[in-house]
Amino acid sequence: MKRVPIPAAMELVEEALGANGENACARLVGLLKHQDILTVEQAARTLKKISEANAATLFRLRKALIAEAFHAKDVRVQWNLTIVLGRLPLKGQDKALVVDLMFERLQDKSGLNRTMAMQALMDLSEEDAKLRARVRPIVREFLHNGTPAMRARATKLLKKLES
């Protein structure tokens, strides 16, 4: 399939945060199913940028985002969606599914996927003491036995835990 041209990321982020935001976000989530991997990667990156600006904008699309995160095969798509999901204000079954996915990603062969999963778990545990208790030893383990990127992220996260 042909690559679908996606407008510049910042243009889409602005549109997603504006009055027609839900439509722009829904289009991007729809592009996660596209045959062309470059289109999918660009859509995932743009969704990550939207989540940086205002994760709540993507909340209504959480089920589709969760489904796409489970189906994603490309590592770049996986870690971008991992970041997005970690930022969403999830509860109940949605949160449980995402937490399970993040624990799976902690075993991934990609160090970046493991690092982003650790970050997502920290984000998801922000107001969840029970989950935070499960995540704290993982962060400490990454601090001592992770890749340089994992150690750097773990250091940052432990400072946040202690403050």
% residues pLDDT > 90 (the chain): 76
Q: What is the DSSP string of 9-31?
A: HHHHHHHHHSTTHHHHHHHHHHH
pLDDT in tens, 124-140: 999 999 999 999 999 99
Contact 88/58 with Cβ under 8 angstroms? Answer: yes
pLDDT of residue 4: 55
Say how far apart CA 153 and CA 127 lie, in whole Å: 20
Q: Which of 4-8, 19-23, 159-163 has the lowest mean pLDDT?
A: 4-8
* Residue 129 burial class via C-beta count within 10 angstroms: exposed 0-12, middle 13-18, buried 19 and up: exposed
4 in helix, strand or coil? coil
Looking up tokens 């859509």 gives 43
pLDDT in tens, 9-54: 556 667 666 766 788 899 899 999 999 999 899 999 999 999 998 9
Looking up tokens 């969704």 gives 47
pLDDT of residue 7: 57
Helical (H) or strand (E) element with 157: helix 148-162
> 97: how many CB neighbours lie within 10 A of its CB?
18
pLDDT in tens, 94-150: 999 999 999 999 999 999 999 999 999 999 999 999 999 999 999 999 999 999 999
| Prediction pTM value | 0.88
Say how far apart CA 119 and CA 125 lie, in whole Å: 10
- Locate the domains of the chain by residue range: 1-89, 92-163
